[in-house]
């Protein structure tokens, strides 16, 4: 079975069904509200309700209650680890083909419900319909790709030959036991991919979802159970990261942690989880994603690719461009055209067909935007810079002109803000990027092959693109573009959606039988 990306919107447009895409989505937007304003339990084999609760509010209007979720207690968390630990071997010994078949079945089940999940994400984290559908598509891709990888590698069991006469040896990759997944708000697909890696390889997984997309994560876990994953091997625990996450990642029987989020939190988990003994740590900790535009660029491509990378999903992608280094000779022209193009991008309710940029995720992000803008000199703000006075958490797409402030130029912002900075040549731009702590994604716009080669050969970044108009630093596709962070952007140097990803959740055992 060959792997094929889901790509719903593109495939429907190509087959003349674009109108049908919009009609189905808009019908689901009406239907998914039936999920709202209910209470959802933790899932620790049985449904568990706690004393303390969390309410999830949609960023669309800052008022709609998506659902009420549980604040997991230490007792529930430790019980979850105990159950997961006691049952992971049964899941592993069910066989890699059995596990892969369950994941392929689950992918098909999610595919049938993809418009429902996309509509739900619009309410939960404010994605427009195109971004939301792409997110669900990527989740489906992760499940299928990892299942096919497990099958093609025959469960990562390999005969290794004979060292001495009469001996037969093989390498068997086996699960560690229990992995904790601490997921981010910005991509449902990241949650699904982070769960899929350790789970399909035979580990038990405890999912601590983001408090900003708890409902889609809850429904995903229910779907996986319906597809055949035993409840003992996939557990759902909601709650705050500081309170619930720490109880779990410091538990001695949690052998590994999969984390996507900020550098500060990621490093805290990295240190505290391993205080007593080594654990597997698979983390992605964001980036300062930078686009370089040289004098040999096609400016139409560069402007569109930069704007889409900066303002898609309100700059809240790990790969969002928040810095552009522009060769001095074209700086003024590029700046003028970027402002003109960006003005045309509609900021509005993400349920509307024409919306490009929706709200930021929550009140904290909304207030962070205001704090940053208060520190930027007004003459440096050449587009945007203000909040939008309407219900919900809406801010303007913002372009800054050569602010020369390390808090802007070297820090991940995770907001629809991009800073422009002139450089004298490509080498200066590459050196600037390489001097940063981060190394997640980036891109170059140049029609000169030698410049592209120089960039590819010298940039210290995990995911790079040349002349990508659809998103100069964004849009990695499962199977084609492994998503991997270098330096402070990640801990393993192995990318999601890659053939190197699954072995991270397995440990090798050398087995030898003497026959004579």
Q: How many whole angstroms separate alpha carbon 224 and alpha carbon 226?
A: 5
39 burial via Cβ count (<10 Å: 0-12, 13-18, 19+): exposed
N- to C-terminal Cα distance for the chain? 41
**E-assigned strand segments in 118-203:** 157-161, 167-175, 178-182
So where are the chain's domains? 16-285+492-514, 289-477
The CATH number of domain 16-285+492-514, selected from 3.10.20.30, 2.30.40.10, 3.40.50.300, 3.40.605.10: 3.40.605.10
pTM: 0.96
CA dihedral 274, 279, 282, 287 (to 10 degrees): 20
CATH class assigned to 289-477: alpha beta
Give CA–CA dist 422/424, Å, rounded.
7
pLDDT of 328 reads 98
Q: What is the set of active-site residues?
A: 284, 318
Q: Which residues of 469-504 are buried (b: 16+ CB within 10 A; e: fewer)?
A: bebbbbbbebbebbbbbbbbbbbeebbbbbeebbbb
The DSSP bridge partners found for residue 256 are: 179, 280
Encode the chain (516 residues) as per-residue pLDDT tens digits.
689 999 999 999 999 999 999 999 999 999 999 999 899 999 999 999 999 999 999 999 999 999 999 999 999 999 999 999 999 999 999 999 999 999 999 999 999 999 999 999 999 999 999 999 999 999 999 999 999 999 999 999 999 988 899 999 999 999 999 999 999 999 999 999 999 999 999 999 999 999 999 999 999 999 999 999 999 999 999 998 778 889 999 999 999 999 999 999 999 999 999 999 999 999 999 999 999 999 999 999 999 999 999 999 999 999 999 999 999 999 999 999 999 999 999 999 999 999 999 999 999 999 999 999 999 999 999 999 999 999 999 999 999 999 999 999 999 999 999 999 999 999 999 999 999 999 999 999 999 999 999 999 999 999 999 999 999 999 999 999 999 999 999 999 999 999 999 999 999 999 999 988
Question: Which DSSP state fits 495?
Answer: -
């Amino acid at each position: 079975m060959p792997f094929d990306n889901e790509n719903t919107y593109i495939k429907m447009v190509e087959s003349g069904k674009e109108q049908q895409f919009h009609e189905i989505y808009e019908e689901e937007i009406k239907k998914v509200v039936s999920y709202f304003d209910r209470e959802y339990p933790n899932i620790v084999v049985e449904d568990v309700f706690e004393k303390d609760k969390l309410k999830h509010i949609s960023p669309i209007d800052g008022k709609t209650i998506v659902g009420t979720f549980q604040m997991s207690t230490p007792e529930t968390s430790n019980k979850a680890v105990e159950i997961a630990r006691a049952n992971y071997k049964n899941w592993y010994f069910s066989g890699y083909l059995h596990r892969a078949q369950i994941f392929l079945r689950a992918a098909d089940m999610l595919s049938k419900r993809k418009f429902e999940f996309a509509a739900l994400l619009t309410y939960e984290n404010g994605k427009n319909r195109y971004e939301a559908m792409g997110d669900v598509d990527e989740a489906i891709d992760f499940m299928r790709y990892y299942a096919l990888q497990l099958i093609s590698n025959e469960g990562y069991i390999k005969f290794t030959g004979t060292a001495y006469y009469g001996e037969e040896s093989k390498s068997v990759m086996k699960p560690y036991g229990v992995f904790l997944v601490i997921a981010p708000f910005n991509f449902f697909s990241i949650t699904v991919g982070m769960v899929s890696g350790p789970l399909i390889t035979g580990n038990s997984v405890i999912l601590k979802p983001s408090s900003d997309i708890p409902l889609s994560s809850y429904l995903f876990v229910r779907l996986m159970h319906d597809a055949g994953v035993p409840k003992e091997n996939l557990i759902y625990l909601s709650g705050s990261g500081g309170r619930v996450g720490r109880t779990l990642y410091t538990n001695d029987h949690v052998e590994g942690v999969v984390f996507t989020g900020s550098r500060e939190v990621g490093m805290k988990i990295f240190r505290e989880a391993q205080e007593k003994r080594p654990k597997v740590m698979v983390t992605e900790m964001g980036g300062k994603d930078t686009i370089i535009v040289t004098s040999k660029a096609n400016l139409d491509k560069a402007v569109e690719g930069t704007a889409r990378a900066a303002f898609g999903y309100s700059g809240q992608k790990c790969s969002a461009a928040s810095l552009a280094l522009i060769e001095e000779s074209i700086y003024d022209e590029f700046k003028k055209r970027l402002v003109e193009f960006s003005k045309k991008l509609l900021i509005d309710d993400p349920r509307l067909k024409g919306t490009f940029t929706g709200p930021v995720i929550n009140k904290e992000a909304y207030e962070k935007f205001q704090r940053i803008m208060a520190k930027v000199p007004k003459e440096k703000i050449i587009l945007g810079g203000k909040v939008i006075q309407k219900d919900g958490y809406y801010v303007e797409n913002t372009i800054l002109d050569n602010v020369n402030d390390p808090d802007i130029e070297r820090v991940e912002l995770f907001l629809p803000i991009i800073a422009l900075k002139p450089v004298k040549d490509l080498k200066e731009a590459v050196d600037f990027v390489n001097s940063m702590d981060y190394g997640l994604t980036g891109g170059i716009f140049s029609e000169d092959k030698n410049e592209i080669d120089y960039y590819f050969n010298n940039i210290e970044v995990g995911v790079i693109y040349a002349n990508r108009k659809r998103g100069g630093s964004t849009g990695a596709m499962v199977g084609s573009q492994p998503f991997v962070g270098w330096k402070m952007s990640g801990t393993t140097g192995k990318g999601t959606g890659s053939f190197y990803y699954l072995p991270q959740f397995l440990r090798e055992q050398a087995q030898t039988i003497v026959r004579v």
